[in-house]
Structure 1
Amino acid sequence: MVAVLDRNGCPLMPCHPARARRLMAGGRAVVVKTAPFVIRLKDRVAESSEVSGVAVRIDPGSKGTGIAVTADVECSDRVSGEVTTSRRGLHATELQHRGAQIHKSMRQRADHRRRRRGANLRFRAPRFLNRSRPKGWLAPSLQHRVDTTLSTVARLTRWFPVTELHVERAAFDTAALGLDLESLGLPLSAWSGGRTKYNRSMQGLAKSHTLDALAVGEAGPSTRVVRYPGTVLVTSACGRGSYARTRSDKHGFPRLYLPRQKQHHGFATGDLVRAHIPRGKYRGTHTGRVAVRASGTHRISIPGGYADTSHSNLRLLQRGDGYAYTMRKEDARP
């Protein structure tokens, strides 16, 4: 499903991609964001629209977190009067963390500092005695997991009419995750992992982060998942670069210097671009993140590797926001 905003930027109920294409072809909508795909209507406001609201369901993990946007519709049988709930999956995001990369970088930085203190260099005293950890401190690799999950949920609340949050309790509680009423202003419900597993087995769903997120919450025998997203937006945390203007070798010595300017020929590293390469080994059209060079020959990531091409062959789709976006198919069969 495609996220829809009104003319003032307020979220409306999402629509089918085919309807979004008709709206854009008729000039009634414009593209706001490419990944995920968000459109804005020119002739509609939220006050004159029927917005029932959606729920965001979160399945946290150590390496990846599944996030699903769902809408529950209650239906009653005319004969028996039994009330059932139909759950429709509107959007699914698999957030891939980079906690292992952060841990490796901090370990490498510590090794470089220890080596400089132990080598025949100027004296540099350790500074451990004058530092204290604040209350609620988490390791940087864990804090990264909290921050990326919270920022992704906050973005979804800007694009979808979210009315409630459901999260599965992880190794640390939801307060440590930063998910409460105070941070997002939405009612929050916490559920156990055992209930998620029970709901998934009752619905006959396969094991994945996004399908687990679809099953988070109250989903007993009277609830039936009638729709799940066929494609999942895989969001990989890549960072926004570093403050260091050098690259070091394995001993910690600088081996090259980076330019102060981050944007070259209209592009910056991390931008989502579409490349039309006219000739060569990688001839064709490719979409991915770009790594810029001052010479103008930029590098774009493609499935299975990368390709180098001139900046004149690139078209900007979306400015870099610290994440890489890809799509994968979802198979709900166990």
Structure 2
Amino acid sequence: MSKVFVLDTNKQPLNPIHPGRARMLLSQGKAAVFRRYPFTLILKEEVLNPEIRPLRVKIDPGAKTSGLALVNDNTGEVVWVAELQHRGFQIRDTLTSRRQLRRSRRHRKTRYRQPRFLNRTRSKGWLPPSLNSRVANILTWVKRLSSLCQITAISQELVRFDTQQMQDAEISGVGYQQGTLAGYEMREFLLELWDRTCAYCGAKDTKLEIEHINPRSKGGSNRVSNISLACVPCNQKKGSQDIKDFLKGKPDLLKRILGQAKKPLADTAAVNATRWNLYENLKQTGLPVEVGTGGRTKYNRTIRGLDKTHYWDAAGVGASTPEQLITTGVKPLLIAAKGHGTRQQCRTDKWGFPVRYCSRTKFHKGFQTGDIVKATVTSGKKIGTYVGRVATRATGSFNISTKDGLVQGISHKYCKHILKKDGYSYGQ
């Protein structure tokens, strides 16, 4: 597993240690658990003149999931890795729903509302909340890791997508020349769009070819909405047939492929909009920031024999990547952004009218929604041990979201804190 972070008695970071060493310190009473996620110990005895090894935090930003890695540039050891799941699209959908409800209420013939003078101005570098949350999540974890270990440098994959070139590979003009996705990065985008599988048979771990949904011989274009991935047998079998003829007996598959091909480029737009904002914010930490391309990341990951994951992509970001990465026993921490609740004073029905009141009391029986707890139930119909995020009620009957599903009606008397709410959930 990944190494364990260690703090001295003054909460200053020391070198991360092997889990076996951490267990020995705990059993001998020389350390105590400071934090569960990421697992951190605090020593009970002072360490004089410690020799601290510097680490580099590497970031592979994404629209839905970002990869994080801590790497020792001198030894090539990967100390810690994680996948950070964002909630930007959830925020976007929530804001859209609120906007629609407010608009519908204002257009009803209930009362006249005087229009407001829209004189609001946005500050420089403003981002919508759905995009700003992605940047804030990464910055939060960079600062958190900086307080747990000695970080001296940052590497960021500065992703750039050309949406014009993605939509029309034949676009040209004096002011526009060639887009960055015409070629290698275009194929990388298709691999992500089709999940590295054949669109027709779902085959994985095989050679994939670019396949035109509407054949070029019948007027098909090179737009990304007309391109899919197919294995060699499927590509040869389809040939120059129209996809409707080729999938005549599979209407569900036909519908899925056509829908996937015309899927909006929301992920691409989110990465484009946040990349420079994230870079400027990382520079404000005072640490040197290295940037690298997606092509460099894939090259580093491939020649080192690493799998295609967000956290191994992060480990391969930038030209500073050591010739050999030591990844033995490293397991990722899965982090999901959950937010800090809502400020709504009531819940609404589908027409926007209030239906029930929301309690403004955050804590119930010493717990609040979002805490990670361990409940050991010793009697009743739900005997067992449950670990997960808790949703509290004033009655003291809580719900716990575990990895196996939601468990309802657990008394607060059986619950014990593992981690206070910090806006994230964790898993292995």
Q: Do Structure 1 and Structure 2 share a fold, with TM-score over 0.5?
A: yes
Instruction: Give 1:268 shift.
Output: 0.3
Instruction: Give 1:206 shift.
Output: 0.9
The structure carrying a bigger strand percent of its residues is: 1
Matched residue SS, 2:72: strand
Matched residue SS, 2:16: strand
- Contact 2:131 2:273 (8 Å CA) reproduced: no
Matched residue SS, 2:77: strand
The reply to whether residue 71 of structure 1 matches residue 33 of structure 2 is: no
AA in 2 matched with 1:273: V
- What CA deviation, in whole Å up to 9, does each residue of 1:6-31 have, x standing for no partner? 11111111001111111011111111
CA distance 1:242–1:202, shift in 2 (3 Å): same
Out of 284, 287, 291, the position equivalent to 2:387 is: 287
Q: Within 5 Å, which residues of 2 pair with 1:121-132?
A: 121-127=110-116, 129-132=118-121
Which residue number corresponds to residue 24 of structure 1? 26
Q: 2:143, 2:329 → 1: CA distance? A: 20
Which residue number corresponds to residue 160 of structure 1? 149
- Contact 2:64 2:86 (8 Å CA) reproduced: yes
Matched residue SS, 1:276: strand
Q: Within 5 Å, which residues of 2 pair with 1:142-161?
A: 142-161=131-150
Query: Number of matched residues?
Result: 313
Which residue number corresponds to residue 269 of structure 1? 369
- Contact 1:60 1:66 (8 Å CA) reproduced: yes
Q: Structure 1: give runs of 5+ residues left out of the alignment.
A: 74-85, 328-334
AA in 1 matched with 2:143: A
Instruction: Give 1:232 shift.
Output: 1.1
Out of 398, 403, 417, the position equivalent to 1:303 is: 403
Q: 1:180, 1:229 → 2: CA distance? A: 32
Matched residue SS, 2:140: helix
- What CA deviation, in whole Å up to 9, does each residue of 1:278-313 have, x standing for no partner? 245543212111000000001111123211210000
TM-score, normalised to structure 2's length?
0.70
- Contact 1:270 1:289 (8 Å CA) reproduced: yes
CA distance 1:321–1:41, shift in 2 (3 Å): same
Instruction: Give 1:229 shift.
Output: 5.3
Q: Identity, % of aligned pairs?
A: 42
> Higher mean Cα deviation, 129-138 or 64-73?
129-138
Matched residue SS, 1:110: helix
CA distance 1:241–1:111, shift in 2 (3 Å): same
The structure carrying a bigger helix percent of its residues is: 2
Instruction: Give 1:173 shift.
Output: 6.8
Q: 1:148, 1:118 → 2: CA distance? A: 37
Which residue number corresponds to residue 191 of structure 1? 292
Out of 263, 269, 277, the position equivalent to 1:176 is: 277
Matched residue SS, 1:241: coil
Which residue number corresponds to residue 90 of structure 2? 101
Out of 97, 117, 121, the position equivalent to 2:106 is: 117
The reply to whether residue 257 of structure 1 matches residue 357 of structure 2 is: yes
- Contact 1:3 1:15 (8 Å CA) reproduced: yes
Q: 2:348, 2:282 → 1: CA distance? A: 44
AA in 2 matched with 1:55: R
Q: 2:157, 2:282 → 1: CA distance? A: 16
- Contact 1:165 1:189 (8 Å CA) reproduced: yes
Out of 171, 196, 200, the position equivalent to 2:301 is: 200
AA in 2 matched with 1:114: R
Instruction: Give 1:61 shift.
Output: 0.2
- What CA deviation, in whole Å up to 9, does each residue of 1:190-226 have, x standing for no partner? 1111100110111111111101001112267x70112
CA distance 1:124–1:166, shift in 2 (3 Å): same
CA distance 1:228–1:102, shift in 2 (3 Å): farther
Which residue number corresponds to residue 33 of structure 1? 35
Q: 2:310, 2:282 → 1: CA distance? A: 24
- Contact 1:64 1:95 (8 Å CA) reproduced: yes
Out of 78, 82, 91, the position equivalent to 1:89 is: 78
